[in-house]
Amino acid sequence: MTDERTANDQSPWMPFENRRRARDEKREAVLRMAVQVFLEQGYHRATLNEVAERLNITKPALYNYFRSKDEILFECWALGQEQVDDLIAVINRSRQSGLGKLRALVHAYAETMATDFGASLVRFDPRDLKPHNAEKVRAAKRGIDLTFRRYIAEGIADGSIKPCDPKLAAFAIAGSLNWIGHWYQRGGSLTPDAIADEFAIRLTDGLARRSVKKASAEAAPAPRTRKPTKGENR
């Protein structure tokens, strides 16, 4: 009788967990390359042929992992949104003042905008997605806006932020942050962290009831909950 363990050791097929891990890594590689091509060329001009060529695979091989170009676009957006959701969850659990939470969110969001997947949150048009995915994107955008408003309202209530219109203040802050996703270029003179430090102060200084120095002492460093995706350093 053949020893079962020996027979399995001689099998040319990888164990299930190894196969799944390899598939996940390849799928991630497709997304990393696709988001780079989409950002460089624009979603409509970019082709899956270009993505496949850069990965040194055939275009049909891409369809082992994704069914369509717009599905890849949605997954790129989803990875960026996951980063934002994670950092908001950390801030929500903190005991900072409203101003402290706002500054932490501005800092973390600015850093996210300087990544490829973070930029996908603002560089791509939801109308290019299937209706149900486009609605998910719009709902997530509303959620981010409401989080900014909530932190501002909390700051007004606890006295760390001057009385203001939370909606207008949130629009002004988010608009500035979202633009980072359009102008940031890797390898520039400023690092994402340096940009985030500057924006965290510049975008909240006018709202702070107390001095910037005192408020800064209260605000904890921006959360770093996300493990950077391999090869991503935008």
- The pLDDT of residue 92 is 96
If asked whether residues 103 and 187 sit together in one domain, one would say: yes
**Cα(142)–Cα(59) distance, integer angstroms:** 35
**Cα(75)–Cα(27) distance, integer angstroms:** 10
Work out the average pLDDT over 107-131: 94
- The pLDDT of residue 188 is 75
If asked whether residues 89 and 127 sit together in one domain, one would say: yes
Residue 165: CATH number of its domain: 1.10.357.10
Work out the average pLDDT over 61-69: 91
If asked whether residues 52 and 156 sit together in one domain, one would say: no
If asked whether residues 155 and 48 sit together in one domain, one would say: no
Does residue 3 fall inside a structural domain? no
**Cα(105)–Cα(131) distance, integer angstroms:** 29
- The pLDDT of residue 233 is 46
User: Tens of pLDDT along 132-150?
Assistant: 999 999 999 999 999 999 9
Residue 199 has pLDDT above 50, yes or no: yes
If asked whether residues 82 and 61 sit together in one domain, one would say: no
Does residue 27 fall inside a structural domain? yes
Q: Which amino acid is at 206?
A: G
If asked whether residues 86 and 198 sit together in one domain, one would say: yes
DSSP for 1-15, written as a single string: ---HHHHHHT-SSPP
Provide the residue range defining the domain that includes 165: 78-218
- The pLDDT of residue 35 is 95
**Cα(102)–Cα(59) distance, integer angstroms:** 44
Q: Lowest mean pLDDT of 18-27, 40-49, 171-180, 217-226, name the range.
A: 217-226
Mean pLDDT of the chain: 85
Q: Lowest mean pLDDT of 2-16, 30-44, 149-163, name the range.
A: 2-16
Residue 50: CATH number of its domain: 1.10.10.60
Does residue 7 fall inside a structural domain? no
C-alpha separations of 63 from 16, 30, 82, 182, 210 in Å: 21, 10, 24, 29, 55
C-alpha separations of 219 from 69, 92, 171, 178, 196 in Å: 41, 13, 22, 22, 14
Q: Domain count of the chain?
A: 2
Residue 214 has pLDDT above 70, yes or no: no
- The pLDDT of residue 117 is 93
Residue 232 has pLDDT above 70, yes or no: no
pLDDT tier at 190, thresholds 50, 70, 90? confident
Residue 151 has pLDDT above 50, yes or no: yes
**Cα(52)–Cα(19) distance, integer angstroms:** 21
Cβ atoms of residues 21 and 29 within 8 Å: no
If asked whether residues 208 and 94 sit together in one domain, one would say: yes
If asked whether residues 129 and 151 sit together in one domain, one would say: yes
If asked whether residues 27 and 129 sit together in one domain, one would say: no
If asked whether residues 164 and 53 sit together in one domain, one would say: no
Does residue 9 fall inside a structural domain? no
If asked whether residues 210 and 101 sit together in one domain, one would say: yes
Does residue 55 fall inside a structural domain? yes
- The pLDDT of residue 186 is 80
